[in-house]
Amino acid sequence: MKIVQIQVDQEQNQPRPIIYANIATINRLSLPLNQPITLHFGKKNVEVRVSISTNTGNLIRIPSELAAQLLLPNGIQLHAKFDKEKGLFLGPIFGILIQTVNPKQPQTPFGKLTEFLKEVALLARNQGILFYVFTIQDIYQQTQMVKGWFYSSNQWEPRIFPLPDVIYNRISSRNQEKKFKVKITELQKQIPFFNEHFLNKWQVYEMLKKTPIQDYMPETNYFKGNQSIKEMIAKYPIIYLKPTNGALGRGIIKIEHSLDQYIVQYSRINGASTFYFKNLNKLLKHLYPRLHSEPYLIQEGLNLIQFNRRPIDFRILVQKNGQGLWSITSMVCRIANDQQFVSNLARGGTQANVMETIRSANPELSKKIKKDHFRKLALLIAKNLEESTSGHFAELGIDLGLDNKGKIWLLEVNSKPSKTEDTALAGPRPSVNRLIQYVRFLTGFPEEKKRHRRK
């Protein structure tokens, strides 16, 4: 089926349901002339006939009355494809679902996501995709319409559109996601919907321990009471307590047992807070309020390499590509600031080159560790997680650690990786390019494969 990028213009004062295109466009799409066909745009459709025009270029002219029925904007670049059985499809329509919009802040209506969403909007326009941002409250389910925020003339403006062909979930709050679970589930029944929910650390561990990835995971147990901590601290000199629903380094507790004392550190925004205890029972009493306020897991502390005595890890961004396959988009080293024991950028960490950091941290280790080792493991993790869960995911932030013996460990998998950590130097960031490629694949408007000339 031939896919053609076209421009759609509206024809005023044309009462008949006829659309016009030049003969070259008609032939490329194999459109029948003067026969009734169904014209689809998102979930909207109308019956039309095709007639020849003298236009130049890939232009399709549609009566303004029909365009209004389809909620089709004027002058927009889209793709067209024709199916003899189903009709002519214009699209794709891509929507990103977010938590909230603040129209009173026109420069940053979507908070920290604004710059990322602007990059998506500009690339989508260039690629012939109708893109908008919306919230759950913006959906008019009965009429299959949505109030979407559309980027035009350097500003975001609300317009009414059909429901999208595909949705990417960027709701940033677990509570909001739970609150709208019923409505989200209804959307999932009728529209491809990826990164549909946050991942729970314990659930990820439970799924992956039944796969080959178990060999790369530190021992992890669910916190069920003080005995859980006693057993782990008896086995390991360092353990970590992590909220199962935590993110960005929030709520992590480090416990170190050395000789005659226990050292407890809390990860806070302004640095780690440290407490000392001579007695394990006093330590457990101190931890009680926090550990009973939300679910926690307990994890073995690993002897990971450090940079200038600061913890480091490796964030690999894994995304589905234009063929629907997992691929590596980016890989960076994250170095904790000197007041922290976690390396998250939200806690003051910094990014650095992977191999340069390994060479500085452990010159001998750098001779046998290659970036490809991280890549292969990250892809294996993504594939095994996908096979172990019923959810649809197309983007994962995978955090890996490297110990002083050269073993790579899985530390965490994030289904909503930060969009402030992979900012672009010039043009759209690689993650935006990969996202658009996958959207085109998923909606049936894939990029045309480039033909290589023989030399």
pLDDT tens, residue by residue, 334-372: 998 887 878 777 666 789 999 999 999 999 999 999 999
Condensed to tens digits (0 to 9), the pLDDT of residues 258-293 reads 888 999 998 877 778 899 999 999 999 999 999 999
**pLDDT at 451 > cutoff 60:** no
**In the listed set 39, 56, 91, which residue is the last one of a domain according to the structure?**
91
* pLDDT computed for residue 248 by the predictor: 77
Same domain flag for 315 and 368: yes
Lowest mean pLDDT among 375-389, 393-407, 408-422, 440-454: 440-454
Is residue 331 a contact partner of residue 374, using CB atoms and an 8 Å limit? yes
Average pLDDT rounded to a whole number, residues 314-339: 94
* pLDDT computed for residue 455 by the predictor: 44
Average pLDDT rounded to a whole number, residues 223-250: 93
C-beta neighbour count of 403 within 10 angstroms: 15
Which contiguous run of DSSP H or E holds residue 310?
strand 310-320
Domain CATH number, residue 333: 3.30.470.20
> Is residue 112 included in any domain, yes or no?
yes
Same domain flag for 366 and 379: yes
Domain CATH number, residue 136: 3.40.50
Structural domain span for residue 296: 219-300
Same domain flag for 281 and 328: no
Same domain flag for 358 and 314: yes
> Is residue 287 included in any domain, yes or no?
yes
**Helix, strand, coil % in the chain, rounded to nearest 5:** 30, 35, 35
In the chain, how many domains are there?
A: 4
Same domain flag for 100 and 171: yes
Alpha-carbon distance values, 6 to 86, 122, 150 (Å): 19, 17, 19
**pLDDT at 192 > cutoff 70:** yes
* pLDDT computed for residue 450 by the predictor: 61
Average pLDDT rounded to a whole number, residues 78-86: 97
**pLDDT at 21 > cutoff 60:** yes
**pLDDT at 32 > cutoff 80:** yes
* pLDDT computed for residue 203 by the predictor: 94
Q: What is the mean pLDDT of the chain?
A: 92
- Of 246, 232, 345, give the one whose Cα is nearest residue 296: 246
* pLDDT computed for residue 87 by the predictor: 98
Same domain flag for 315 and 290: no
Lowest mean pLDDT among 98-107, 175-184, 199-208, 403-412: 175-184
Return the SS3 of 154.
coil
What pLDDT band is residue 157 in, cutting at 50, 70 and 90? very high
* pLDDT computed for residue 421 by the predictor: 59
Return the SS3 of 273.
strand
What pLDDT band is residue 426 in, cutting at 50, 70 and 90? low
- Of 168, 245, 241, give the one whose Cα is nearest residue 204: 245
Question: Bigger pLDDT: 268 or 123?
Answer: 123
Return the SS3 of 128.
coil
DSSP output for 19-86: EEE-HHHHHHHTPPSSS-EEEEETTEEEEEEEEE----SSEEEEEHHHHHHHTPPTTEEEEEEEETTT
> Is residue 421 included in any domain, yes or no?
no
Own/partner long-range contacts of 220-229 (Cβ < 8 Å, ≥24 apart): 220/297, 220/298, 220/299, 220/300, 221/297, 221/298, 222/295, 222/297, 222/298, 223/291, 223/295, 223/296, 223/297, 223/298, 226/284, 228/298, 229/255, 229/284, 229/287, 229/298
Same domain flag for 86 and 104: no
